[in-house]
């Protein structure tokens, strides 16, 4: 019976900071630099380094980590651990848990600032949780009333891999009777719309040409 192993890209060599190495070798070097003597003392032989490299690479795939997660984990290690982290500790450092109440307060504040395009988010999961929770509910709910639902949504977003970054806010014309818009922005929106419509009008299918 033969066993086939799925290719693990964490072990593939690539150019990293001008050197050809795998992401795992780069991580090994970073941890060695952060914990001089203590890190290498855990690896008495080359075989033990190979075992570490393969075990951690497989764990990264199982945890659906990205290079961005690893960068977060490396920075967190400098704050959290005096000694080299275990694989469990490192993976937790890569995906730190957010304080749900603080995240709720941030969402309430940033969604108001988003009206003027001034919102800044500490974590993209907070933004997407705010979107799912709803702007109206954020503005009209207390923490005690929102706690259970907000915490569930935030946990879902935190566990979702490859969340997109918060998109830039798009200006829109107000609904009738709901306020006034900046005349300059209105003129620009109308000009953009006319340009798009003109571009479509120039494209005439062959089947309808005279």
Residue 197 lies in a domain: no
Whether residues 58 and 114 fall in one domain = no
Strand-pairing partners, residue 107, are none
Residue 177 lies in a domain: no
Whether residues 151 and 86 fall in one domain = no
23-74 pLDDT, tens per residue? 999 999 999 999 999 999 999 999 999 999 999 999 999 888 888 889 988 9
Whether residues 13 and 77 fall in one domain = yes
User: What's this model's pTM, rounded to 2 decimal places?
Assistant: 0.50
Q: Do residues 95 and 120 touch, judged by C-beta distance below 8 A?
A: no
> Could you tell me the residue range of the domain that residue 20 belongs to?
9-94
Whether residues 144 and 108 fall in one domain = yes
Whether residues 63 and 136 fall in one domain = no
Residue 169 lies in a domain: no
Whether residues 104 and 89 fall in one domain = no
Domain count, the chain: 2
What is the spatial distance between Cα 105 and Cα 102, in angstroms, rounded to a whole number? 5
Whether residues 23 and 86 fall in one domain = yes
Residue 37 lies in a domain: yes
107-118 pLDDT, tens per residue? 999 999 998 889
Whether residues 20 and 67 fall in one domain = yes
186-210 pLDDT, tens per residue? 676 777 677 666 655 444 445 444 4
């Amino acid at each position: 019976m033969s066993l086939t192993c799925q290719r693990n890209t964490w072990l593939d060599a690539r150019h990293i900071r001008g050197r050809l190495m795998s992401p795992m070798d780069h991580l090994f070097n970073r941890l060695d630099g952060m914990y001089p003597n203590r890190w290498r003392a855990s690896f008495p032989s080359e075989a033990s380094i190979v075992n570490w490299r393969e075990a951690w690479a497989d764990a990264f795939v199982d945890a659906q980590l990205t290079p961005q997660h690893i960068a977060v984990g490396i920075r967190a290690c400098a704050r959290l651990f005096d000694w080299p982290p275990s694989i469990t500790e490192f993976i937790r450092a890569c995906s730190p848990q957010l304080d749900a109440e603080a995240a709720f307060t941030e969402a309430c504040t940033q969604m108001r600032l988003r009206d003027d395009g001034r919102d800044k988010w500490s974590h993209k999961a907070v933004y997407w949780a705010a979107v799912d929770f709803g702007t109206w509910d954020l503005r009209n709910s207390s923490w005690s009333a929102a706690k259970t639902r907000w915490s569930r949504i935030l946990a879902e977003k935190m566990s979702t891999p490859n969340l997109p970054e918060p998109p830039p806010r798009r200006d829109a014309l107000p609904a009738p009777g709901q306020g006034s818009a900046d005349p300059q922005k209105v003129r620009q929106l109308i000009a953009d719309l006319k340009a798009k419509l003109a571009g479509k009008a120039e494209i005439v299918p062959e089947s309808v040409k005279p």
